Structure 1
Amino acid sequence: MTELADLQIPNIITPDSGPTFLGKALEMLCNRIEVEVQKGTPEQKGDWRPLLFIMTDGKPADIQIYNNVIPIVKSKNFASIIACAAGPKAKIEPLKKLTDQVFTLDTMDATSFKKFFVWVSDVIGVGGKSVGTTDSLELPGPPAEVNIVI
């Protein structure tokens, strides 16, 4: 855990629009987890298991890289992987390859986004599990604006 005042967010340059390189983003995430998440040992308590939230308004443009990174992401012991397909052009099929916890957000207005992020905060509040535990995370119910994909 890092104090908020000490948090250093990496500078990631992205285009204003264009392809969705979700595979490359997940590769970068996996590399950062290897460096930044401390696993518990008999001598030291580890970090909490990370939560992964993905929000996309499209589909992966780098589908081969995305498909190749899925097993690596799944091996990283996330407490939960939650994906949100936001908007009418977002595709749920690629997200379902990564996680069973896929949600859709049909309307992309300020109220819907606010309710979604309040819900995400609630999930984070219940997601504090230590790295190395295998307990599954029980998610609180999403707001009415967020649809569960079965």
Structure 2
Amino acid sequence: MKKKIFCLAVAVLMLAGFAVSANDNVYLFFATEGGSNVDFLQMPRGTVVNLDEFITEKAGYEFDGWYGSPNEMTNRLTETVLEENTILWAKWKAPEGLSERQIENEILSRTVIGNHVVLQTFDNEIKIVPVSEIWLQQNARLEALMKVHNEYFNK
């Protein structure tokens, strides 16, 4: 979950930093949703990208392809034309015996209490993780960035 939030925050920062491009290049970012890293692309505007070449892996899961929105995972993309900075999201198929809901809610809740984070997983396991002051500051900044991201992409 932390990795997912971190990747989205990095993508938001990169989109913000590269929003104006003097050489008319655009960026394609891959939100792997817990899968192995896929490097972003910097390509000229109008480039057609074959997405079948970009595969991510996640132990125990089957990669189902790239999608244009984390909220709408029904239209799998096989290629995309880069007209603007773009983020694509990975979709995973549940392993046998594990439901999609369990995958999406690997961590059901996260609560910061003092210098600890309390995590509840989908199987109702509770984990208490000590964190540093720097983590708390970075987490607060990340939550602010996620708020901006959600306002921009969830219109």
TM-score (norm 2): 0.23
Higher relative CO (CA 8 A, sep ≥ 6), structure 1 or 2?
1
Larger strand proportion, structure 1 or 2? 2
- Between structure 1 and structure 2, the one with the greater Rg is 2
More helix by share: 1
